[in-house]
A and B are shown apart, each in its own frame.
Chain A
Amino acid sequence: EAQVTQNPRYLITVTGKKLTVTCSQNMNHEYMSWYRQDPGLGLRQIYYSMNVEVTDKGDVPEGYKVSRKEKRNFPLILESPSPNQTSLYFCASTLSGPNNSPLHFGNGTRLTVT
């Protein structure tokens, strides 16, 4: 089944403890992206990647890192999480970029930083 898989679904952590949220897609998509969703703010783009080893900042990249060493995986790294990064995170992918084709979303990761 074609899908975007995020793990974990739920994560509670403490301020400053490094964490990684994984994202994997099995559709051979070139483009992958991370969003965070907060009440009243919609989805805001954190980082995106147009291909292996090619990443770029979205609208809210501060406090996050990403890597794209393989086409299928696009992990989101929080080196030193803070409470303002408590949010619902979504990974998404598409074949060649959002200008040409729709995004496929994962089911989300709900992160709480205390």
Chain B
Amino acid sequence: SQQGEEDPQALSIQEGENATMNCSYKTSINNLQWYRQNSGRGLVHLILIRSNEREKHSGRLRVTLDTSKKSSSLLITASRAADTASYFCAAGGTSYGKLTFGQGTILTVHP
């Protein structure tokens, strides 16, 4: 079953605006990861946040994790047209070796 579910399914914004994507998961996790995919290409890792962390930053990316609500969010600040892509969360459960992806959010940033 899908561990991660993302919201919204699609997001359309103007360049310079912030984009927020949310991810919910069902069971206990070891970590929560975010990936980006450009148009059918391979996924690229963005950020990994461990279950004992609440917030993590990387450049214009900010990820939060709320284990009590079983949810995470990815914030992209000052978006650019080049940020247009699909974004996936992936839950690393306590079962070693399994990483379960959500359905993804399609982000479109208009120049």
Contact = CB atoms under 8 A, between A and B. Distances in A.
Interface of A: 4, 31, 33, 35, 40-45, 48, 50, 56, 58-59, 88, 90, 92, 97-99, 101-108, 110
A108 B40 CA distance: 8
| Interchain residue pairs A-B with the least CB separation, the first 4 | A105-B42, A102-B45, A98-B99, A43-B101
A50 to B, nearest CB: 6
Contacts of A108: 40-42
A98 B43 contact: no
B64 interface: no
Contact of B101 (A42, A48, A99, A106): A42
Nearest to B43: A105
Contacts of B44: 105
Given A42-B88, A59-B1, 5 more contacts: A41-B103, A92-B43, A98-B90, A105-B42, A107-B41
A98 B50 CA distance: 11
Chain A contact residues: helix, strand, loop or mixed: strand
A107 B42 contact: yes
B102 A98 contact: no
B98 A103 contact: no
A98 B92 contact: yes
Interface of B: 1-2, 4, 30-31, 33, 35, 40-45, 48, 88, 90, 92, 96-104
Contacts of A35: 101
Contacts of B2: 41-42, 44
B42 A99 contact: no
Q: B42, B45, B88 — which one has the most chain A CB atoms within 10 A of its CB? A: B42
A41 B103 CA distance: 5
B66 to A, nearest CB: 20
B1 to A, nearest CB: 7
